[in-house]
């Protein structure tokens, strides 16, 4: 087998992995910012959102 049979697929795989990693980093940052904004929004005043009780946090039975 020639190295050309493996070289191109490896190059494409590395390229795609790098692209996906960058997008995952961007999504992680966006989710973190969203969490911070929601936290500030919910702390600023009561917006009709109630704190979960222990029964509700336990989930359905």
The verdict on residue 53 lying in a domain is: no
The verdict on residue 4 lying in a domain is: no
The verdict on residue 7 lying in a domain is: no
Tokens 């049979």 correspond to what residue?
Answer: 5
pLDDT at 15 over 80: yes
- What is the distance between the alpha carbons of residues 40 and 45, in angstroms, rounded to a whole number? 9
The verdict on residue 24 lying in a domain is: yes
- What is the distance between the alpha carbons of residues 57 and 10, in angstroms, rounded to a whole number? 46
Range of 34's domain? Answer: 13-38
The verdict on residue 32 lying in a domain is: yes
The verdict on residue 48 lying in a domain is: no
pTM: 0.53
Tens digits of residue pLDDT in 17-53:
999 999 999 999 999 999 999 988 888 866 666 666 6
Alpha carbon distance, N-terminus to C-terminus of the chain: 59
Number of domains in the chain: 1
The verdict on residue 60 lying in a domain is: no
pLDDT of residue 46: 64
pLDDT of residue 59: 63
| SS3 state of residue 50 | coil
The verdict on residue 3 lying in a domain is: no
């Amino acid at each position: 087998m020639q190295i050309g049979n493996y070289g191109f697929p490896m190059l494409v795989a590395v390229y795609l992995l790098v692209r996906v990693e960058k997008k995952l980093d961007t999504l992680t940052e966006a989710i973190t910012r969203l969490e911070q904004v929601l936290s500030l929004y919910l702390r600023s005043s009561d917006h009709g959102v109630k704190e979960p009780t222990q029964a509700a946090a336990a989930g359905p039975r």
